[in-house]
Amino acid sequence: MIIYNINQAGFADHAQFIASPNFDERPTDNDSGKNTEINLIVIHNISLPPGQYGGNGIIELFTNRLNPDEHPYYAQVHSYKVSAHFLIRRNGALLQFVSCLNRAWHAGQSNWQGRERCNDFSVGIELEGSDFEAFEPVQYLTLNNLIAAISNTYPIQSIVGHSDIAPDRKTDPGPYFDWQQIKNKR
């Protein structure tokens, strides 16, 4: 079992880092003058092409290198400028695209407990998967270890799904995501 830690630069040790250009600085909190406090974890699912696992489609999407001619679905999404902080593959491997200290572009138009723009104060974790089948046990193991590391570093108050913060437009992590598997529920 791998135990993760988040360093002062916002990177998880033991994660494969692949730099995404799709991020910016977190906004400054007007009261403190510091960057907005990170207190939310958002769980997503993704597969590219949809329902297929193990390829480079997700990496290529998050790094703006997705070839629109490679798959019909890619023609629809290749120009999206999106990312997440982390991706957990079906085999439990952890990839990181953006430092936790920066704002990854994973949530889009969103709201949590009356606060708009969840990207400002959240860490986004993508699970390689879909709304149509169960996630792998090893993914939950990696996810729980990553949640523990993030929670030990930042004052996390809630762990939610993308569907919780954007219910009119998103369904992930989907009906097969087992919230009972999450040890640090908030």
The helix (run of H) or strand (run of E) holding residue 96 is: strand 94-96
Query: What is the C-alpha separation between 72 and 49, in angstroms, rounded?
Result: 9
Residue 186 included in any domain: no
Residue 65 included in any domain: yes
Query: Helix or strand or coil: residue 158?
Result: strand
Residue 7 included in any domain: no
Catalytic annotation present for 60: no
Task: Kindly report the number of other CB atoms within 10 A of residue 86's CB atom.
Answer: 26
| pLDDT tens figures, 25-71 | 999 877 777 778 999 999 999 999 999 999 999 999 999 999 999 99
Record the pTM.
0.96
Query: What is the C-alpha separation between 174 and 176, in angstroms, rounded?
Result: 6
Q: What is the CATH number of the domain that holds 20?
A: 3.40.80.10
Query: What is the C-alpha separation between 84 and 81, in angstroms, rounded?
Result: 11
Residue 175 included in any domain: yes
Task: Output the six-digit token pair for 43.
Answer: 């769980």
Does residue 186 register a pLDDT over 60?
no
| pLDDT tens figures, 161-182 | 999 999 999 999 999 999 999 9
Catalytic: which of 37, 126, 133, 136? 126
Q: How many domains in the chain?
A: 1
Residue 10 included in any domain: no
Give me the helices (H) in the chain, please. 57-62, 74-77, 137-153, 162-165
> What pLDDT is recorded for position 33?
73
Residue 122 included in any domain: yes
State which residues form the domain around 54: 16-181
Does residue 3 register a pLDDT over 70?
yes
Residue 8 included in any domain: no
Residue 81 included in any domain: yes
